[in-house]
């Protein structure tokens, strides 16, 4: 497996790319995301995105407009099926917040499905390319976001397991996913908008050509396999992929911008005390391709 993509443009002066110790995820410095991004800077940010899969930008005082603008460099924005978390004025932005207007907490994490391993919007035919979060308020204990590197996890499977799962497909289903994460049931409108879809269990990244395990909580069962057998195989592969060697744990700071490649990662939020801690993230999602 080739680890990095080639880039002929020289790295712009001032821009820094600092990979995390295990080579999964990187922190980008020397860039101000409140302003337009120069082409050469974007080329390097994009290269880092493909090489490291999760990017962290610290101390970025973005507003929602700048957040939108940043996402548009990566592609077309898409709204979320769950209308209850949409920003009132800017519906392509979702707000996950446990803070009421009077500043008190709701006592609940806003979207329980984010507490379990998943890859964004795998329950639609063309799931998300990237998700970009910013963090106006963070929990002081817990509330980290964890990522699993599904490419490394795939290439570290045995040759036999890779050969076994390479041609398999899984059904991804918003309705079932909500049942599993004990969220409010999907509405009839949501079920009509997101009927079950089938995706390969191993997808090939359209830009790097590398393969990755493609599962997560939205995956309900495996095509042409008994339900319980398929659930067991999904659990086994997810247990493999979420071993510590494949994980990056993001410890939030206020005004972080965090983005990830949904085509080759899974993520989840670590639980926190939602009665005491105030946690707010604003979230923008960029549309991706059909997994192949």
The pair of structure tokens assigned to 213 is 């395990």
Residue 282, token pair as written in the block? 């604003």
Instruction: Exactly one of 67, 80, 109, 118 is catalytic; name it.
Output: 118
Report in angstroms how near the CB of residue 57 gets to ligand SIN at its nearest: 15
Whether 267 is catalytic is: yes
Q: Is 283 in the site for ligand SIN (CB under 6 A)?
A: yes
Q: Mark whether 173 is an active-site residue.
A: no
Contacts of 32 (CB under 8 A, 6+ apart): 60
Sequence-separated (6 or more) residues with CB below 8 Å from residue 190: 81, 82, 174, 175
* 289 tagged catalytic: no
> Minimum distance between the CB of residue 175 and ligand SIN, rounded to whole angstroms?
18
* CA distance linking residue 178 with residue 185, whole number of Å: 6
- Selected from 269, 274, 284, 286, the binder of ligand SIN by CB under 6 A is 269
**Residue 128 interacting with ligand SIN (CB under 6 A):** no
Please count the residues of this chain forming the interface with ligand SIN, following the rule CB under 6 A. Answer: 10
Residue 131 lies near ligand SIN (rule: CB under 6 A): yes
Among positions 84-123, residues that touch ligand SIN (CB under 6 A) are 96, 114, 120
Contact status, residue 196 vs residue 173, Cβ threshold 8 Å = yes
With CA atoms as reference, report the closest residue to 132 among 209, 190, 197, 74: 74
120, 149, 256, 261: the catalytic one is: 120
Q: Report CA dihedral (18, 260, 13, 61) to the nearest 10 degrees.
A: -100
249 is catalytic: no
Q: What are phi and psi of 57, to 5 degrees?
A: -120, 120
Give the DSSP letter of residue 77. Answer: E
Q: If binding is defined by CB under 6 A, does position 177 make contact with ligand SIN? A: no
Binding-site string for ligand SIN from residue 134 to residue 173, where x marks contact by CB under 6 A and - marks none? -----------x----------------------------
Which parts of this chain interact with ligand SIN (CB under 6 A)?
Answer: 96, 114, 120, 131, 133, 145, 267, 269, 281, 283
């Amino acid at each position: 497996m080739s680890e990095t993509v080639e880039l002929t443009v020289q790295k712009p002066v001032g821009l820094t790319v600092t990979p995390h110790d295990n080579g999964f995820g990187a922190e980008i410095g020397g860039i101000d995301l409140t302003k337009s991004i120069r082409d050469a800077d974007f080329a390097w940010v994009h290269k880092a995105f493909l090489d490291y899969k999760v990017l962290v930008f610290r101390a970025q005082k973005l507003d929602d407009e700048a957040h939108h603008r940043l996402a548009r460099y990566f592609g077309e924005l898409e709204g979320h099926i769950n209308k209850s978390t949409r920003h009132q004025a800017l519906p392509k932005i979702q707000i996950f917040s446990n803070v009421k207007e009077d500043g008190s907490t709701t006592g609940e994490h806003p979207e329980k499905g984010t507490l379990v391993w998943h890859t964004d919007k795998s329950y639609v035919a063309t799931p998300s390319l990237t998700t970009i979060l910013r963090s106006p308020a963070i929990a002081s204990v817990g509330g980290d976001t964890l990522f699993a590197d599904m490419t490394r996890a795939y290439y570290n499977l045995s040759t036999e397991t890779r050969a076994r799962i390479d041609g398999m497909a899984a059904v991804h289903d918003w309705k079932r996913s909500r049942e599993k994460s004990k969220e409010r049931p999907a509405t009839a409108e949501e079920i009509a908008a997101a009927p079950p879809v089938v995706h390969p269990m191993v997808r090939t990244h359209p830009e790097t050509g590398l393969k990755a395990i493609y599962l997560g909580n939205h995956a309900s069962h495996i095509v042409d396999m008994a339900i319980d057998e398929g659930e067991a195989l999904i659990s086994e592969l997810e247990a493999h992929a979420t071993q510590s060697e494949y994980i990056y744990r993001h410890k939030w700071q206020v005004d972080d911008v965090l983005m990830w490649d949904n085509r080759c990662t899974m993520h989840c939020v670590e639980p926190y005390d939602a009665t005491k801690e105030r946690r707010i993230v604003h979230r923008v999602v960029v549309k991706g391709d059909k997994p192949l």
